[in-house]
Amino acid sequence: MNVREFVYENDLQAVLELWRGGSPGIRISPSDDPAEIRKKLQRDPDLFLIAEEDARIVGAVVGGFDGRRGMVYHLAVETTQRGRGIGRALMRELEVSLRRKGCLKYYLLVTKDNQDAVAFYQRLGCEVMDLLVLGKVIK
């Protein structure tokens, strides 16, 4: 298995299929439209990582860093490939990239019904925080 940076032209369709296909906690939103993904890559392309095996994408993670805090979006591993350390490898590489940018702490969101993801992130050292998450669409 190889972890590398996402390449828009080569990887977009496979990653969108991965997000739509087998990850119960991933909610596709307007931020996941191809044009929005292209905008994301202009900011920090080194925080969009792919795991591939035999030239096939088996996992992906998107990170962000605003200069103060990091954020993790859409960690997904192909359903048949879970339990092999792919998610752990993607998160390890993402953390290396975040540290390189000066990031000291990151956040991530997990849907309440995705207890498998909560347990996974806790095994990586993440803590459940007692916060409310608010959001607003500003179209």
How many separate domains does the chain show? 1
Q: Which domain holds residue 16?
A: 2-123
Would 128 be classed as within a structural domain?
no
78 burial type by CB count under 10 A (0-12 exposed, 13-18 middle, 19+ buried): buried
Would 20 be classed as within a structural domain?
yes
The predicted pLDDT at position 114 comes to: 87
The predicted pLDDT at position 23 comes to: 64
The predicted pLDDT at position 29 comes to: 80
Would 98 be classed as within a structural domain?
yes
- What b/e string do you get for 100-139 counting C-beta neighbours within 10 Å, with b at 16 or more? eeebeebebebeeebeebbebbeeeebeeeeeeeeeeeee
Would 75 be classed as within a structural domain?
yes
Would 65 be classed as within a structural domain?
yes
CA atoms within 13 Å, Cβ hemisphere of 57: 23
Would 60 be classed as within a structural domain?
yes
The predicted pLDDT at position 122 comes to: 97
- Phi/psi for 78 (5° steps) reads -50, 135
Amino acid letter, residue 44:
D
**Total number of residues shown for the chain:** 139
Q: What is the CATH number of the domain that holds 52?
A: 3.40.630.30
| pLDDT tens track for 6-38 | 999 999 999 999 988 866 677 778 888 899 999
Would 136 be classed as within a structural domain?
no
The predicted pLDDT at position 130 comes to: 92
Q: Give every residue of the chain whose pLDDT is below 50, as ranges.
A: none
Would 129 be classed as within a structural domain?
no
